[in-house]
Structure 1
Amino acid sequence: MAQILAPSTQWQMRISKSSPNATPITSNMWSSLLWKQNKKVSPTSSAKFRVLAIKSDNSTINRLEGLLNLDITPFTDKIIAEYIWIGGTGIDVRSKSRTISKPVEDPSELPKWNYDGSSTGQAPGDDSEVILYPQAIFKDPFRGGNNILVICDSYTPQGEPIPTNKRHRAAEIFSNPKVQAEVPWYGIEQEYTLLQTNVKWPLGWPVGGYPGPQGPYYCSAGADKSFGRDISDAHYKACLYAGINISGTNGEVMPGQWEYQVGPSVGIEAGDHIWASRYILERITEQAGVVLSLDPKPIEGDWNGAGCHTNYSTKSMREDGGFEVIKKAILNLSLRHKDHISAYGEGNERRLTGKHETASINTFSWGVANRGCSIRVGRDTEKNGKGKSSTIMARPLYSGSR
């Protein structure tokens, strides 16, 4: 099982294995490094003892953790804001840090910023400046304190949304009074795969080989069935700390694969929360030395893919007679199936095959409690004639959801 790698809370002395003369550091050797002060010796500092740090090519002392965990709030009002945006592929997240003079509570209090769009595939080199507009704020689980994560979208210097800025149009739709009156709820189920760093093979799989067939791994426990639980749990807590409306998590059908759910959220908030959660997951897997993959079908063959299923409902669907409203919405979706498929992201033709609990990418279908349909309606919705949600196979909220 992968573990989150963090520096020890104590200083560490590491001896290179390649050195033939290296010997373990014993307690006696450490005590010889501590020079206790006594009354006969004039103190050179207010400390009770001094540590003599050995410097050599074969040893290092790790002091990073103390600095990374440094609480700066007693010493300054300044905070660190991590500006986050979606890159040119529509699925990659980028970020950079900025010092802000004091804590903020609303994105409108933050300044706009810029980045080099030619380095993210979003602008030509001869006119590369792209402007970041802060849109949503979350607490920073990595830096703590008053530091924040800031979800941004991207514009030209003239104030026009760049082509990959899908959030701008989504925000326009959600701000429409008719849409607001329907109070659209979203619940997003993000599946992902954890890969070993050097070989890009799923976590827990033998290198170049395969585990046993699918079956024992879904929602499982045990070292031979569950791989990466610490990453999933770390992500869960980090999202709750950040203020993301994460509602659950579970191990998925393919070993090394996990899922978490964000929502129910209203309107554009759902998109901001899912993108912030993806960024946090990228940072946690970075620290763990594991590669995060949102690829729809990371392993070919008799293995489940990874989707981003979206549960959706409106006020009319949740009221009496709502099942008829749901069926009308399903009909409207069926008439634009190809348009929607083109917006779901690249690679879904490898996942939506009609096998492994998916519908065929070429055929629209719906059913009650049928996991092999494009849209699945819950049993309770059918029974009650209304419902809180219906599940769409891969509906993106804004930009390139998988």
Structure 2
Amino acid sequence: MAQILAPSAQWQMRLPKGSIEASSFTPKMWKPLVLKQNKKGAIRSSAKFRVFALQSSDGTINRVEQLLNLDVTPYTDKIIAEYIWIGGTGIDVRSKSRTISKPVEHPSELPKWNYDGSSTGQAPGEDSEVILYPQAIFKDPFRGGNNILVICDTYTPAGEPIPTNKRARAAEIFSHTKVVSEVPWFGIEQEYTLLQTNVKWPLGWPVGGYPGPQGPYYCGAGADKSFGRDISDAHYKACLYAGINISGTNGEVMPGQWEFQVGPSVGIEAGDHIWCARYLLERITEQAGVVLTLDPKPIEGDWNGAGCHTNYSTKSMREDGGFEVIKKAIHNLSLRHKEHISAYGEGNERRLTGKHETASIDSFSWGVANRGCSIRVGRETEKNGKGYLEDRRPASNMDPYVVTGLLAETTILWEP
């Protein structure tokens, strides 16, 4: 007996007639599929999965769906905590589960844990233990109940941050007195691309071919323009349930590409929320049978890349006379352009070409309402004389701890 998690029709890859994949499924094989539906629309748990179960020869049906939806709250005080951390590439998310004796409200109530760093590229085999420090808690939309997701950072047994732990340095910056007093706000626009599983080609694109040119896809609607809306919507709701400060979502310029926005978030919270949102997206695409990529230029040629535009302001920028503070901040950013670019994501040179709504990676520029600049200032900010700036340089695979920390450091702490 086997069981299949069934995505919506939009998540299923359309295969050309006569292909090996298509011919391997026959009407006879699909006949035993039975859809298990909730009786009378009742919802017993906040986490629900639609499961197709294959019926075996003796007529029994796989009951995995019932266990997935099982609410254990009436029977035990214990909860499941999913410890999440960033792996050795600096962009991969890892996680594992443990039982906690009772519900918790703050990360300090959770125990530290460890994992095999030699298996994630973060420690040698002869000294492989890496320690997880719980730092932020979110509700678990997959398990529901009192179960939680725990964002952690990583340390040696001696208590030193390991090299891939970028949160520790960001936390130092955001705890500085001058930075705290400026109450830095961030609004991060995370772009991502959905790929078909076996061919690693964008969702909705003909295998080995191309759709029509860009134009109708951005914020578009329709089966020939919007590919992956179910995933975007599922992710949106999962973020709201988890307590992530998600503020919106939209289809992007390249078909199969989407964006969600998180913020405004203060200080280190911005990085925690983006990383948790990325984890949720990985889990949802896993269930949908779709591959998520944060590559800044997934398809070469006349197609938009994927960025992670970062909107930023300080208390001084948001108050009267703030536009002058913004100009000073932009001046500082221009002087540290190379340092920022080197920390803004792997492969960003393939995206920042001066085309497709980007500035050249080799030069710094800024302008009002100009999406071809390194830094964009909105019309409202210019008109009101206060507001925020948008750093359009970060790639989709940037580390939000690095980018937010560097912006605060360069504009508040660093003096040319």
TM bucket by the smaller chain? 0.7 to 0.9
Report the Cα distance in structure 2 between the residues aligned to 1:349 and 1:391, rounded to whole angstroms. Answer: 16
Do the aligned partners of 1:377 and 1:389 also contact (CA within 8 Å) in 2?
Answer: yes
TM-score using structure 1 length: 0.86
After TM superposition, list the pairs within 5 Å mapping 1:145-164 onto structure 2. 145-164=145-164
- Change in CA separation of 1:400 and 1:381 when aligned onto 2, cut-off 3 Å: closer
Do the aligned partners of 2:11 and 2:228 also contact (CA within 8 Å) in 1?
Answer: no
TM-score using structure 2 length: 0.83
CA offsets per residue over residues 302-349 of structure 1, 9 Å max, x none? 000001110000000001110010011111011111111110111000
Report the Cα distance in structure 2 between the residues aligned to 1:300 and 1:142, rounded to whole angstroms. Answer: 35
Letter in 1 for 2:63: R
Map of 1:200 onto structure 2: 200
Report the Cα distance in structure 2 between the residues aligned to 1:369 and 1:307, rounded to whole angstroms. Answer: 17
Offset, 1:176:
1.1
Whether 1:86 and 2:89 are equivalent positions in the alignment is no
Do the aligned partners of 1:358 and 1:372 also contact (CA within 8 Å) in 2?
Answer: yes
Q: RMSD across aligned C-alpha pairs, in angstroms?
A: 2.3
- Change in CA separation of 1:2 and 1:342 when aligned onto 2, cut-off 3 Å: farther
- Change in CA separation of 1:372 and 1:60 when aligned onto 2, cut-off 3 Å: farther
Report the Cα distance in structure 2 between the residues aligned to 1:161 and 1:362, rounded to whole angstroms. Answer: 32
- Change in CA separation of 1:24 and 1:194 when aligned onto 2, cut-off 3 Å: closer
Do the aligned partners of 1:91 and 1:399 also contact (CA within 8 Å) in 2?
Answer: no
Whether 1:73 and 2:80 are equivalent positions in the alignment is no
Do the aligned partners of 2:170 and 2:402 also contact (CA within 8 Å) in 1?
Answer: no
Do the aligned partners of 1:2 and 1:288 also contact (CA within 8 Å) in 2?
Answer: no
After TM superposition, list the pairs within 5 Å mapping 1:54-65 onto structure 2. 55-56=56-57, 61-65=61-65
Unaligned runs of 5+ in 2: 1-7, 13-23, 35-53, 405-416
Map of 1:108 onto structure 2: 108
Do the aligned partners of 2:352 and 2:393 also contact (CA within 8 Å) in 1?
Answer: no
Whether 1:390 and 2:390 are equivalent positions in the alignment is yes
Offset, 1:56:
3.6
Letter in 2 for 1:110: L
Offset, 1:392:
3.8
Map of 1:249 onto structure 2: 249
- Change in CA separation of 1:232 and 1:19 when aligned onto 2, cut-off 3 Å: closer
Map of 1:338 onto structure 2: 338
Map of 1:358 onto structure 2: 358
- Change in CA separation of 1:316 and 1:24 when aligned onto 2, cut-off 3 Å: closer
Do the aligned partners of 1:4 and 1:287 also contact (CA within 8 Å) in 2?
Answer: no
Do the aligned partners of 2:368 and 2:382 also contact (CA within 8 Å) in 1?
Answer: yes
Letter in 1 for 2:382: E
Report the Cα distance in structure 1 between the residues aligned to 2:370 and 2:323, rounded to whole angstroms. Answer: 17
Map of 1:372 onto structure 2: 372
SS of equivalent to 1:237 = helix
After TM superposition, list the pairs within 5 Å mapping 1:126-141 onto structure 2. 126-141=126-141
Do the aligned partners of 1:313 and 1:388 also contact (CA within 8 Å) in 2?
Answer: yes
Which stretches of structure 1, 4 residues or longer, exceed 4 Å deviation after superposition? 1-5, 16-20, 22-25
Report the Cα distance in structure 1 between the residues aligned to 2:61 and 2:295, rounded to whole angstroms. Answer: 39
- Change in CA separation of 1:185 and 1:348 when aligned onto 2, cut-off 3 Å: same
Report the Cα distance in structure 1 between the residues aligned to 2:183 and 2:383, rounded to whole angstroms. Answer: 23
SS of equivalent to 2:67 = helix
Letter in 2 for 1:320: D
Do the aligned partners of 1:345 and 1:400 also contact (CA within 8 Å) in 2?
Answer: no
Report the Cα distance in structure 2 between the residues aligned to 1:161 and 1:199, rounded to whole angstroms. Answer: 38
Report the Cα distance in structure 2 between the residues aligned to 1:17 and 1:233, rounded to whole angstroms. Answer: 29
Offset, 1:211:
0.1
Report the Cα distance in structure 2 between the residues aligned to 1:351 and 1:17, rounded to whole angstroms. Answer: 40
- Change in CA separation of 1:2 and 1:372 when aligned onto 2, cut-off 3 Å: farther
Offset, 1:63:
1.3
SS of equivalent to 1:66 = helix
Report the Cα distance in structure 1 between the residues aligned to 2:148 and 2:231, rounded to whole angstroms. Answer: 21
- Change in CA separation of 1:150 and 1:24 when aligned onto 2, cut-off 3 Å: closer
Offset, 1:390:
3.3
Offset, 1:396:
4.7
SS of equivalent to 2:400 = coil
SS of equivalent to 2:225 = coil
